[in-house]
A and B are shown apart, each in its own frame.
Chain A
Amino acid sequence: MYQTFVTIVYLSTFLSLIGYVVYWYLRLKQTERDQ
């Protein structure tokens, strides 16, 4: 019954972690481009 709910909690957690890395990766690329 709660399988979908648990999956959503996991998905949102991992998407947050991926989002954190992607955000700083893009900042890194932007810094390199501006040099």
Chain B
Amino acid sequence: MKDKVTPILGILTLLSFAAGLFYAFTAPPDIHQKELVRIFYLHMPVALMSYVAYFVAMGYSLAYLITKNRKFDRLAYSSAEVGVLFTALTLIGGSLWAKPTWGTYWTWDPRLTTTAIGFLIYVGYFIIRGLIEDPDRRARVGAVIGIVGTLYVPINYMSVYWWRSIHQTPTLKLLGDLEFSADPRMGVALMCMFVAFVIGFVYFVRFRAVVADRIEAKEDRLMEQSFQEGRI
């Protein structure tokens, strides 16, 4: 069956990013950081969406363990892969922003360190998956790591409260009353970029899962063929 939703999501992603970029570059500069504050409209949504990606991966991993349906495994690792990409962008973008504002690209701050650990956990998730040949065992082990690995998210979010940190506390507080402590025009830019990343995330995961489905179907066919020819 021809997939019509994914291309539409792709177009929506492009349009929403175009709107997000417009607001990000027309919002007023910050009184202290000047133009540099615009990196924030990219950094915060991408970091927040990496959390979402890991939670979605956890949800699909649980669904796989309950149902043993490989479709959930594909969605879990697609989401985890997008999470790794977003975490990498968070680390690189954050480091580039840190140099002119903090005076260094990297410091062993609790928020930065836990983000780097989270990144390594999910890189490890893919390395371990790559080492297991049996698809069912690979999915089962992946699901367990996907669930346990998500524990990093609350630790990372709370790290700026629990330990002394150079990183600011969250601009958009997720716990307690919703609070945004900046100019409303900056809030519009941030929300537009956030919505763009939400749509983009759905598109990336769906697109990646479609590709994974085709690749797995081909691998299964080759395996079946080898089995019939007596090579396995």
A residues with CB within 8 A of B: 1-3, 5-6, 9-10, 12-14, 16-17, 20-21, 24-25, 27-28, 31-32, 34-35
Contact = CB atoms under 8 A, between A and B. Distances in A.
Contact of A2 (B36, B89, B200): B36
Contact of A17 (B100, B200, B210, B215): B200
B15 interface: no
Contact of A9 (B85, B93, B208, B210): B93
A12 B43 CA distance: 13
A13 B93 contact: yes
Nearest to A35: B218
Contacts of A17: 85, 89, 200, 204
Given A2-B100, A9-B93, A13-B46, A24 B35 contact: no
A25 B211 CA distance: 8
A6 B218 contact: no
Contacts of A9: 39, 42, 93, 96-97
Given A3-B35, A24-B208, A13 B215 contact: no
Nearest to B212: A24
Interface residues of B, number: 28
Interface of B: 10, 17, 21, 24, 34-36, 38-39, 42, 46, 85, 88-89, 92-93, 96-97, 100, 200, 204, 207-208, 210-211, 214-215, 218
B46 A21 contact: no
8 contacts: A2-B36, A5-B35, A9-B39, A10-B38, A13-B46, A13-B93, A17-B204, A21-B207
B218 A31 contact: yes
A27 B214 CA distance: 10
Nearest to B96: A9
B204 A21 contact: yes
Contacts of B89: 13, 16-17
A10 to B, nearest CB: 6
A31 B1 CA distance: 17
B204 A20 contact: yes
A14 to B, nearest CB: 7
Contacts of B85: 16-17, 20
B93 A31 contact: no
Given A5-B100, A21-B207, A24-B211, A14 B38 contact: no
Contact of B211 (A5, A12, A13, A27): A27
Contact of A34 (B17, B46, B88, B218): B218
